[in-house]
Structure 1
Amino acid sequence: MGRGREGAGRGRPSRPVLSAGLIAREALAMIDTEGADAFSLPRLAGRLGVKAASLYNHLDGRAAVIESVRRLVVEEIDVSVFAVLPWPDALAAWARSYRDAFARHPHAIDLLVTTTIGSPAMLAMYESVVEALARGGWPPGRLVTVLTSVESFVLGSALDLVAPPPMIDPSGRAPRVPALAAALHAAPEHDKAARAEQAFASGLQALVRGLVAQLAEVRTSDAAGRQPG
């Protein structure tokens, strides 16, 4: 009886069965803990306890692994708001969700923004944004500009959220930069999260309001152009 139980135990795998999903999750965990510069397929394989060649049975090389990591991060971003909210409110809610997702994985930013985007999840997210902007009245020629403007602000804000405090340190030079020194003293630098949130909320509000005003100008200009001469 004892030998039978031991034999059954030996038949069980000592680690989870390798799969595309497991590879992606471990890759993201590796990037989170070690940074994007440390990411490589041999190191990833080592963390999984397999040879690098085994990864190719599930994902076709480094680019495919990066795309799978991108999908995991994108799955944390809420795009459902575009189906139920006016485009300015949806854009603000999406931007906040986007910022929060990348703030949880800040080391992934450098890796993901320097590779061509082709993952179905990312393209579907962009499709939701662009469709909502188009329904809101944005002309086709402005859609990518609006999308890129918001995305650039979001990624910068995600990095700011995890930046080491203080990012600006005029110690010993305050007399030469009195206005800056006074502003830094008045800022909530003692609470890094509060400072980052305040900066994000203020910037997002200004960005969305600016886009609303910009769209109004576009509509006015288009209407004027349609007036008979």
Structure 2
Amino acid sequence: MGRPRRPILSREGIFAAALALVDEDGSEALTVTRLARRLGVQAASLYNHVSGREEIVEGVRDLVVAEMDVDALDGEPWQEALAVWARSYLAAFARHPNTAKLLSTTTIRSPATLAMYERAVALLERAGWPSDQVVTVFTAIESFAIGSALDLAAPGVMIDPSSQELPLLSGALKDAPPARAMAAFELGLAALVHGLDERLRQLC
């Protein structure tokens, strides 16, 4: 049998191509037309598999979440479970920093993400967090992880005071650890989890 005249499309292939497009060219590049061109088909062909750009974005979200350690949310104690999840969250967005803006500014409907949040809520409620606090808690972890992922994607020299006389800043930068962004993440994560632990003690 000869090769098919048209590329064979699938939802999984469309979502994978969309993630690759965002990784390479940024979130603004994700249009149905550009994605179809990347896949070697007409835009109309994509609509046989997806309803439109919104569903494609949610497919991209599923792929990023699939790289996270969602099983960590079933662990105990809750403080360590959140820390493990946060590190995997950071790692996923560090691999795909261009998705941060895209996924942070669109309504979440992806099944994988919603299932992850269900497990996060279960973890926090088992720990004794009031139901009106749990979304705030896991959002705080997410926001910190995404921001830290963007810091990891920053240029090697992020702060350059060489054009000015700033001896204190220059000295601090010289003494900073080589893996500044990762060290900052671990310090902030420890402080965040400790603060949440103290907050729960106050609530109880």
Q: Report the TM-score, using the length of structure 1 for normalisation.
A: 0.86
For the 8 Å contact 2:83–2:193, the answer to whether it is kept is yes
1:217 equivalent to 2:202? Answer yes
Which one of 163, 181, 199 corresponds to residue 184 of structure 2? 199
Displacement after TM superposition at 1:140 (Å): 1.1
- 2:50 is paired with a residue whose SS is coil
For the 8 Å contact 2:22–2:30, the answer to whether it is kept is yes
2:100 is aligned to 109
Taking the aligned partners of 1:72 and 1:110, their CA distance within structure 2 comes to: 16
1:151 equivalent to 2:142? Answer yes
1:37 is aligned to 28
Which runs of structure 2 are paired with 1:38-57 in the superposition (5 Å)? 38-57=29-48
1:61 is aligned to 52
Which one of 75, 79, 89 corresponds to residue 88 of structure 1? 79
- Residues 184-223 of structure 1, C-alpha deviations (whole Å, 9 max, x = no match): 12113xx3xx21211111111111011111111111xxxx
Displacement after TM superposition at 1:14 (Å): 5.9
- 1:140 is paired with a residue whose SS is coil
Instruction: Could you tell me which runs of 5 or more consecutive residues in structure 2 were left unpaired when the two chains were aligned.
Output: none
RMSD, aligned α-carbons: 1.3
- 2:41 is paired with a residue whose SS is coil
Q: Which has the larger radius of gyration?
A: 1
Displacement after TM superposition at 1:159 (Å): 0.5
1:120 is aligned to 111
Distance 1:83 1:39, change over 3 A: same
Taking the aligned partners of 1:58 and 1:40, their CA distance within structure 2 comes to: 15
1:178 is aligned to 167
Displacement after TM superposition at 1:182 (Å): 1.8
For the 8 Å contact 2:78–2:127, the answer to whether it is kept is yes
Taking the aligned partners of 2:75 and 2:126, their CA distance within structure 1 comes to: 12
- Residues 133-182 of structure 1, C-alpha deviations (whole Å, 9 max, x = no match): 01001111111111111111000011111111211111121x2x332222
Taking the aligned partners of 2:74 and 2:105, their CA distance within structure 1 comes to: 30
Q: Identity of counterpart residues, as a percentage?
A: 55
1:135 is aligned to 126
Taking the aligned partners of 2:16 and 2:191, their CA distance within structure 1 comes to: 36
1:187 is aligned to 176
1:3 is aligned to none
